[in-house]
Amino acid sequence: MKKVVIIITRGGFNNLLQACEWMALAAASGMEVSGFFRDEAAGRMSKTKIKEMTMSPDYRGREAAVRDLLRQEEKADLSRLLQKAKESGNIKLSVCKDSLRYFDLRPEDLIPELDEVQTAETFWKEAVIPADRVLTF
């Protein structure tokens, strides 16, 4: 089985959505997927922040229209998308322990779809080194 690692650092909704979709596609195609949220993306993994539909500056002036489209396409709930992605295949989701400190988050503040909190070094050794592909968002 091929292994793909997806490292998500940017915290805008559109970036997180794209990472979720690529994880689901990889898992559905039979790949083993390891997702790692760090930096801004880790800060968005709390039960409250995950619900915010913040867009990158490129969407300026189009945010409301895009949010409406995402709701119509059932892509507005990132927690649900992560859950569905995990149901589509072999996906393990981790969040960076060090990044959580930057946002004063504790493991109990995080969404239940995450499998573990770990350091970047541990993720590197366990997931990145044996990976066939690494994608970044």
Mean pLDDT of 5-34: 96
User: What pLDDT is attached to residue 117?
Assistant: 98
Map out the domains of the chain as residue ranges.
3-136
* Residue 65 Rama label (left phi>0; alpha psi -120 to 50; beta): alpha
Determine phi and psi for 37, rounding to 5 degrees: -95, 125
Residue 134: band (very low, low, confident or very high) from pLDDT cuts 50, 70, 90: very high
d(CA 136, CA 3): 14
The reported pLDDT for the residue numbered 118 is 97
Q: Give per-residue pLDDT as tens, 30-40.
A: 999 999 999 99
How does pLDDT run across 90-130, given as a tens digit for each residue?
999 999 999 999 999 999 999 999 999 999 999 999 999 99
Whether the predicted pLDDT of 55 surpasses 90: no
**pLDDT of amino acid 1:** 81
- Beta-carbon contacts of 100 under 8 Å, excluding residues fewer than 6 positions away, are 42, 106, 107, 110, 117
pLDDT reported for residue 93: 98
The topology under which CATH files domain 3-136 is Hypothetical Protein Ychn; Chain: A, (3.40.1260)
95 touches 37 (CB < 8 A): yes
Is residue 72 pLDDT above 90, yes or no? yes
| Whole-angstrom distance, CA of residue 82 vs CA of residue 91 | 9
